[in-house]
Amino acid sequence: MNGADSVRLAVLGSGKGSNFVAIAEACKTGQIPARIALVVSDVSEAGILARARERQLSAFNLSPGKFRTKLDETAEEELIGQLQKARVDFVLLAGFMRILKGKFLKVFEGRVVNIHPSLLPAFPGLEAWKQALDYGVKVTGCTVHFVDQGVDTGPIIAQRTVPVLEEDTAISLHERIQRKEQELYPQVVRGLVRGDIRVSGRTTYWKNAPPGAEV
């Protein structure tokens, strides 16, 4: 990294890109002192690619290869190469539906973060908002965490709570969680870019917690 203004981010997603948009807006206003150098999706028609192109950002459609939940070796090499070519400092996962491990995490060690729609370690994996509703919890939320070799298991950076209402459906609950995600993710990325977050073992420490943060 060569100073705060030139920190370069990549955002990886497979879906509509609402978290990407929140991060892109925060870069534009200066809340996050960084630029988005590359947006990657494994789904050619994903909204995130369209949202990136609308903003004249580099958007790359990655062919994931033969597996359903991970990248094959060629795809992993291609992804690493594209991110290195774009001189990316941090890799932000925002609904990227492929598990990243091994070589990828080695190359970008300590620089890959993810947002998950539950209060981890509760409800890892798919459709976490639905898992929470089906379980009957009264409070759920979202978590930003570093990515390690497991699924949704890395050190937690920040969390926000969302109450589960009696009248909630999976859709209404997911929408409220996503609104919280869009507040939280840019705050965490700002902290990362400014070098405010330190990790020791499983615990992360904030130098300057964002206002009102439950970190």
Which residues carry out catalysis?
116
Question: 173 with 162: CB under 8 angstroms?
Answer: yes
Q: Which residues contact 165 (CB under 8 A, 6 or more apart)?
A: 172, 173
Nearer to ligand GRF by Cβ, of 95 and 186: the residue is: 95
Of the residues 16, 35, 55, 101, which one makes contact with ligand GRF according to CB under 6 A: 16
26 near ligand GRF, rule: CB under 6 A: no
| C-beta atoms surrounding 82 within 10 Å | 16
Nearer to ligand GRF by Cβ, of 81 and 163: the residue is: 163
> Quick one: which segment of 15-23, 59-67, 159-167, 204-212 binds ligand GRF (CB under 6 A)?
15-23
Q: How many residues does the chain have?
A: 215
CA distance 87 to 138: 43
List binders of ligand GRF among 125-144 (CB under 6 A).
none
Question: 114 with 144: CB under 8 angstroms?
Answer: yes
The DSSP symbol for 93 reads E
Beta carbon of residue 19, minimum distance to ligand GRF (angstroms, whole number): 3
List binders of ligand GRF among 43-62 (CB under 6 A).
48
13 near ligand GRF, rule: CB under 6 A: yes
186 near ligand GRF, rule: CB under 6 A: no
CA distance 141 to 92: 19
Interacting residues with ligand GRF (CB under 6 A): 13, 15-20, 48, 94-95, 115-117, 178, 181
